[in-house]
Structure 1
Amino acid sequence: MAERMPMLPALRAFEAVARLGSVRAAAAELHVTPAAVSQQVKALEADLGLQLIRRRGNALELTAPAQAGSETLSAGFRLMAEAVRRIRDHQARPQIRLSIDPTLAASWLIARLPRYRALSGSVDLLLDANRAYADFGRDRIDAAIRFGIGRFPGLDVHFLLAEELFPVCSPKLLQGSHTLKRPADLRHHTLLHNDWSSRQGKWPNWQDWLDAAGATGVDSKGGLHFNDGLVVLEAALDGQGVYLANTTAVQDLIAAGKLVAPFPVRVRSDLGYYFVCPEHAAGRREIATLRDWLLGEAAADRAAGQGAGRV
């Protein structure tokens, strides 16, 4: 005989509180009041005869029994969400919702999509352009291209693209009196900075590149500073300065002659792009088709020496 299960709303409320660490955040996610969430958690505790959550000042703390089951419970709800998604989409045209960084989508993926759409096994793609990591269950994401060092627990992970950084600028910037024949010539130009950092790995800056190039007398901090890769790229295209760009952002623009790379020196980042999806979804035909196509595109870039760096 199957073991009697507590009521699903009570389990859902507890799972949200345990995952988010807040009754208020759980209530917002579930679209109910905090009081309703608290009542459901208390009902679950009464049903199980166990205390699940205790307060430590203003913070919530899971008891040992709660910790023992919370992760498995979250995994169960993710599987339920996937099952519901499959039921809803069974009669509909197959579709993949792909989470991707906006800069990578604009500078690399979009131009390549016609080749994917020409595949016999391709399906409709819905690009969810977002810099934050999506929640596969809550956000109904099928797959993602994530930026990092490749550690994504619980996901099926495949390396796509590494990153190298090197100076680029508009061709018209080289037509003035100050050319760029040597790295030291950068002292006569405005440096464009993308002020971005990562806790996962090393993202080189202008000083790193200048050291690698052996350039002296260049103010590595001066110039124009931005906090968005697409915006600083527009400044470079407009001829406002020299940008220390990453390969995936500029490879197609260099091939089109819209940007030039005056120096061969490149510095390597620890970070790269990875195709990821939930392990239980890795075997889906449409996911496998997209994954294999992306791996092929990335491999072609590496072979051509354009977009992936040397790995």
Structure 2
Amino acid sequence: MPYRLPPLNALRAFEAAARHLSFKKAAQELSVTPTAISHQIKLLEDQLDLQLFHRLTRALELTPQGEAMLPKVREGLQCFVAAVTSAHERVSSGRLIVVLPPSFATRWLVPRLRRFALSEPSLSLHVFRSLKTIDTDQVASLASFDLADLRQEDSVVVIRFGAGVYPGFRVDRMFGSDYIAVCSPKLLQADPPLRVPADMRHQVLLHDQGLASGRPGPAWDEWFRLAGITGVDSSAGPHFSDSGLVYVAALDGLGVALASKPLVATAIGQGRLVAPFDIAVGQKFAYYLVVPEAIAERPAVQAFRNWLLEEAKSEAH
């Protein structure tokens, strides 16, 4: 008949006491009292129906049964330590894979990544851009978790632009994404100048054609409605296949673009773009960090989450 395994604490107490031949020294090593060590040894002896120590007046000696048991107990405890260490090493040696929208990666995350890299120098970070991280309706596809060739120890997290409804995942809202009109500073004094909202009648409007293909985003007619300006052909002007091209065109002074406020904050702060008017087109969608529950407590995931949400505080509104 197989024995019921003794409690791990009792085995640790036995191994430490046998190694030191002292309940007092074993207690100091394990941060308990000598009485607790003595109690654990007594429980072990009762369960095994064996005497493991001779308790002398000023000494402690192993019995033949204790001497026979010690090497295997020590080997077993070392195996436990090796198993736990190996598990931690697998997690720390794996990659942290971040999948996110292309424009968010280029204009928000990457300019800030140096601070994260300095705080976590041993972490293997891999960044993937994907349009699959942008919701096209209220029910989002989470196929973005399948983009990388994963190893078991890898951790994949996704930054999504969408409604925030992702059942089965741990979700943190980062910030919203109101859209504002932005342009190169040289347009402010160009001919015709751009000084008041009515001057937008004479400006070249830059359009993100991708917004018309199912992805969320405002159009110029909504901006003009909020500005109280009528009689403008809001569809006129060059159309581009994605927001990255619109961004470059605005930087170059081709015209005025509607851009996500948090994604152009850095360029505005550097003086490369300006936002001439305090008119913002609100958005129902926002940026969210989406993490599978199974990996949410991994150290690498927690480190990235804490850093990301701290960085996002300045954009929250």
Q: TM-score range by the shorter chain?
A: 0.5 to 0.7
Tell me if structure 1 keeps the 8 A contact 2:187–2:194: no
Query: What code does the residue aligned with 1:220 have?
Result: S
Question: Secondary structure at 2:233's aligned position in 1?
Answer: coil
Shift of 1:146: 0.8
TM-score (norm 2): 0.63
Question: Secondary structure at 2:132's aligned position in 1?
Answer: coil
The within-5 A match list for 1:40-55 is: none
Percent of pairs identical after alignment? 38
Match of 2:145 among 127, 136, 151: 136
The C-alpha deviation readout for 1:202-223, integer Å capped at 9, x for no partner, is 5221111111111123221101
Determine the structure 2 residue equivalent to 1:280: 294
Question: Secondary structure at 1:90's aligned position in 2?
Answer: helix
Distance 1:121 1:300, change over 3 A: farther
Q: Which runs of 5+ in 1 are unaligned?
A: 1-85, 303-309
Distance 1:200 1:292, change over 3 A: farther
Determine the structure 1 residue equivalent to 2:249: 235
Would you say 1:109 and 2:109 are equivalent positions? yes
Distance 1:201 1:159, change over 3 A: farther
CA distance in 2, matches of 1:219, 1:203: 19
Match of 1:192 among 198, 203, 206: 206
Would you say 1:170 and 2:184 are equivalent positions? yes
Shift of 1:196: 2.9
CA distance in 1, matches of 2:189, 2:229: 22
Which structure is larger by alpha-carbon Rg, 1 or 2?
Answer: 2
Tell me if structure 2 keeps the 8 A contact 1:203–1:270: no
Distance 1:201 1:136, change over 3 A: closer
Distance 1:222 1:200, change over 3 A: closer
Question: Secondary structure at 1:217's aligned position in 2?
Answer: coil
The C-alpha deviation readout for 1:227-265, integer Å capped at 9, x for no partner, is 211111000001000001111321100000000011011
Match of 1:158 among 164, 168, 172: 172
Distance 1:196 1:112, change over 3 A: same
Shift of 1:142: 1.0
Would you say 1:264 and 2:278 are equivalent positions? yes
TM-score (norm 1): 0.65
Query: What code does the residue aligned with 2:202 have?
Result: H
Query: What code does the residue aligned with 1:300 have?
Result: S
Determine the structure 2 residue equivalent to 1:97: 97
Tell me if structure 1 keeps the 8 A contact 2:171–2:291: yes
Question: Secondary structure at 2:207's aligned position in 1?
Answer: strand
Distance 1:239 1:200, change over 3 A: closer
Distance 1:137 1:239, change over 3 A: closer
Question: Secondary structure at 2:235's aligned position in 1?
Answer: coil
The C-alpha deviation readout for 1:162-204, integer Å capped at 9, x for no partner, is 1011110001122222112221211111000112338988522
Q: Which runs of 5+ in 2 are unaligned?
A: 1-85, 134-142
The C-alpha deviation readout for 1:11-70, integer Å capped at 9, x for no partner, is xxxxxxxxxxxxxxxxxxxxxxxxxxxxxxxxxxxxxxxxxxxxxxxxxxxxxxxxxxxx
Q: Which moved more, 1:134-143 or 1:174-183?
A: 134-143
Shift of 1:153: 1.8
CA distance in 1, matches of 2:91, 2:194: 59
Determine the structure 2 residue equivalent to 1:220: 234
Would you say 1:290 and 2:299 are equivalent positions? no
Query: What code does the residue aligned with 1:280 have?
Result: A
CA distance in 2, matches of 1:294, 1:154: 21
The C-alpha deviation readout for 1:48-104, integer Å capped at 9, x for no partner, is xxxxxxxxxxxxxxxxxxxxxxxxxxxxxxxxxxxxxx98x8187342011011111
CA distance in 1, matches of 2:282, 2:123: 35
Q: May I ask how many residue pairs the two structures share in their alignment?
A: 218
Distance 1:282 1:91, change over 3 A: closer
Q: Which runs of 4+ in 1 moved over 6 A?
A: 198-201
Tell me if structure 1 keeps the 8 A contact 2:92–2:300: no
Question: Secondary structure at 2:234's aligned position in 1?
Answer: coil
Tell me if structure 2 keeps the 8 A contact 1:122–1:290: no
Shift of 1:122: 6.5
Shift of 1:295: 0.6
Question: Secondary structure at 1:147's aligned position in 2?
Answer: strand
What root-mean-square deviation, in Å, do the aligned CA atoms of Structure 1 and Structure 2 show? 2.5
Distance 1:171 1:106, change over 3 A: same
Would you say 1:179 and 2:193 are equivalent positions? yes
